[in-house]
Chains A and B, each alone.
Chain A
Amino acid sequence: MRYPFPVGKSDFIQGDEAIARAAILGGCRFYAGYPITPASEIFEAMALYMPLVDGVSIQMEDELASMAAIIGASWAGAKAMTATSGPGFSLMQENLGYAVMTETPVVVVDVQRGGPSTGQPTLAAQGDIMQAIWGTHGDHSLIVLSPSTVQEAFDFTIRAFNLAEKYRTPVVLLTDAEIAHMRERVYIPNPGEVEIIDRKLPENEEEARLPFGDPHGDGVPPMPIFGRGYRTYVTGLTHDERGRPKTVDAEVHEKLIRRIIEKLERNREDIISYDAFELDDAEVAIVSTGIVSRSAVRAVKILREKGVKAGLLKLNTIWPFDFDMIEELAGQVNKIYVPEMNLGQLYHLVKEGANGKAEVELIAKIGGEVHTPMEIVERVVG
């Protein structure tokens, strides 16, 4: 396999470019999208690379169609991705829900910008955390990953494909304009160095007859790909294990939805990822995600110099959310600060997790700029 970019060495590239290259190394061979700042460069890179690696890149008429196309491609056997920003992500919610309901592995990149509506197209924000987790209707669960560097944007993209395949679920890579457009040194591995997970396929006719069953007891049904003679019917309606619509049966609905949610919940340890920095003896904790974590690291260093025992918990996965870990942390420290580039979205989760065991304070900032370390420090030392 020949790659249209250097592999096995470092390169100095933008976050968007890193995501595109990672997708290709992660096995993505279908990209459908609609241009939007600050995610367009992902599309442009995919447009450049995909035909060269015998993949598909297609510009759809809108984001509804882009999301639909990647789900179709996934059922036809391809690893598929789309990328967008807030307004487009809102349009994708309908079919993102369809992907959840039909347990379709796909990756959706949301490069956040300031909203609501078309808001601040070129500036960074973290205003889509709630939309990423709860944007579609009904009870559901999916996976949301959040990188804070260009290298992480690369690594998490590969991870996003692996998690999507492993758990037959949509995965959202939630990043922002700052990371999308920032250039950093990124190690682009050789294909042989990349761990690739492929979806479970049915091993026999019996498994193929239960495309929404649980033949392995792990909550993740093998996925019968179209065109292999299984004659699978896939519907967004509530369906039984065989995929037959059962729209007024409470028991079938509950069983299906609970399995879809629980297959992620019971694998929390595998899915949830975080980095702890100076937390062991911390009396004050900062919990953050994405770009803000970089200021938070610096803030912790400054606070330590000032004699404040501060530490940072950087969340790499924001859903499923580790409420228990936050409660444990709250039991250890006196106070938790949540700096984020919105008016309090991660804060709600952290507060619920803390469960009253420690005070939780929001450090909100909106308008397009990342918190400076001193802005965080000043709030902590008062």
Chain B
Amino acid sequence: MYLKSAYEIRDKYLRKDMLPTIFCPGCGIGSALQYTLRAIDDLGLNQDEIVWVSGIGCSSRVPGFVNFDGLHTTHGRALAFATGIKLANPDLKIIAFMGDGDAAAIGGNHLIHAIRRNLDITVILINNFTYGMTGGQVAPTALKGLRGTTAPYGQFENPFDIADLAVSAGANYVARWSVFNYLQGINSIKKALSKEGFTLVEFLSPCPISFGRRNRMKTAPELLRWYQKITVPLAKAKKMPPEELEGKIVIGEFADRDRPGLVREYEAYKKRAKKMMGWEE
């Protein structure tokens, strides 16, 4: 991999008139975006054949900053919109940029069904344990005890492990990294973009402003140190007893398989229909 300078990536892919972004200092969304653009660039994908979709949230603002076709939709519904785009024009490659609240709370049902269908799409999921845009309410990914404005005494519900959920629901590729896992992140996105079916790369992403501040981690470096403490690479996790994994987040590649994607399944279905009707041999 040849690493172009950030300026080159910026000039090639961002909409200059939309800058600066809305992201706070220390926010991790920009990094995940950069990794995605680098992956696109490395793979040499055609900018005019990619559509970015998103719901609502800080993470969902990303399609506005990149110079591609983009659909910035309603909160949680990005994957449902994407289903229409992809099936109406299978030649388009689709990237969904989603927040954890967007994807797993209000959009949880769309998420599991898009995965079940194996919708051909790459999801870049920003997990910051919080609702950044609305100011720091708890997200369904928030680990027990973490604070948010709607759980001021510490979260009492169990968290969703989105990567785990995606694996069980049938995604073709699932990986999770923190945004500080630079090379793994880019490589995972490249893999995800190269496969058919549903692929998801989750990033633990610092939100110092809405999340960190309320959890005694006001800056990105503090959040980085915390991620180092709570993340466990998959190989190591496999050897750890469950008690030790309590409150930890496993990172790595969780699924890499090649089940047929929705587009291919529908094409076959169309053929079957015509055959059953005697329209085709």
Nearest Cβ on chain B to A112's Cβ, whole angstroms: 24
Q: Is the Cβ of A78 less than 8 Å from the Cβ of B274?
A: no
Is A94's CB within 8 Å of the partner chain B?
yes
Summarize B's interface: helix, strand, loop or mixed.
helix
Which of B72, B80, B85 interacts with A64 by CB under 8 Å? Answer: B80
Is A61's CB within 8 Å of the partner chain B?
yes
Q: Is the Cβ of A227 less than 8 Å from the Cβ of B77?
A: no
Q: Is the Cβ of B72 less than 8 Å from the Cβ of A233?
A: yes
Encoded as 1 (CB less than 8 Å from any B CB) or 0, chain A from 231 to 252 comes to 1111111000000110000000
Which of B68, B72, B269 interacts with A237 by CB under 8 Å? Answer: B72
Is A52's CB within 8 Å of the partner chain B?
yes
User: Which of B48, B87, B273 has the largest number of chain A CB atoms within 10 A?
Assistant: B87
Q: Is the Cβ of A76 less than 8 Å from the Cβ of B70?
A: no
**CA of A230 to CA of B67 in the docked complex: distance in angstroms?**
10
Which of A58, A77, A229 interacts with B89 by CB under 8 Å? Answer: A77
Q: Is the Cβ of B64 less than 8 Å from the Cβ of A54?
A: no
Residue of B nearest to A29 (CB): B88
**CA of A94 to CA of B56 in the docked complex: distance in angstroms?**
13
Is B157's CB within 8 Å of the partner chain A?
no
Is B175's CB within 8 Å of the partner chain A?
no
**CA of A74 to CA of B83 in the docked complex: distance in angstroms?**
11
Residues of B within 8 A of A73 (CB): 84-85, 87-88
Q: Is the Cβ of A95 less than 8 Å from the Cβ of B48?
A: no
Q: Is the Cβ of B279 less than 8 Å from the Cβ of A2?
A: yes
Q: Is the Cβ of A76 less than 8 Å from the Cβ of B89?
A: yes
Residues of B within 8 A of A52 (CB): 270, 273-274, 277, 279
Q: Is the Cβ of B87 less than 8 Å from the Cβ of A235?
A: no
Contact residues, A63-89 vs B (CB, 8 A)? 64-66, 68-78, 80
Residues of A within 8 A of B17 (CB): 244
Q: Is the Cβ of B88 less than 8 Å from the Cβ of A56?
A: yes
Q: Is the Cβ of A233 less than 8 Å from the Cβ of B269?
A: no
Residue of B nearest to A95 (CB): B74
Contact flag A231-B88 (CB < 8 Å), given A54-B270, A60-B83: no
Nearest Cβ on chain A to B28's Cβ, whole angstroms: 22
Is A226's CB within 8 Å of the partner chain B?
yes
Which of A54, A74, A94 interacts with B84 by CB under 8 Å? Answer: A74
Residues of B within 8 A of A231 (CB): 47-48, 67-69
Contact flag A227-B89 (CB < 8 Å), given A52-B273, A61-B110, A98-B74: yes
Is A321's CB within 8 Å of the partner chain B?
no
User: Which of B70, B73, B82 has the largest number of chain A CB atoms within 10 A?
Assistant: B73
Which of B67, B72, B113, B266 interacts with A65 by CB under 8 Å? Answer: B113
Is B109's CB within 8 Å of the partner chain A?
yes
Residue of B nearest to A227 (CB): B92
Binding site for B on A (CB under 8 A): 2, 4, 29-30, 32, 51-52, 54, 56, 58, 60-62, 64-66, 68-78, 80, 94-95, 98, 226-237, 244-245
Excluding A75-B71, A227-B69, 8 further A-B contacts by CB distance (< 8 Å) are A54-B270, A56-B88, A69-B83, A72-B82, A72-B88, A76-B86, A230-B69, A233-B64
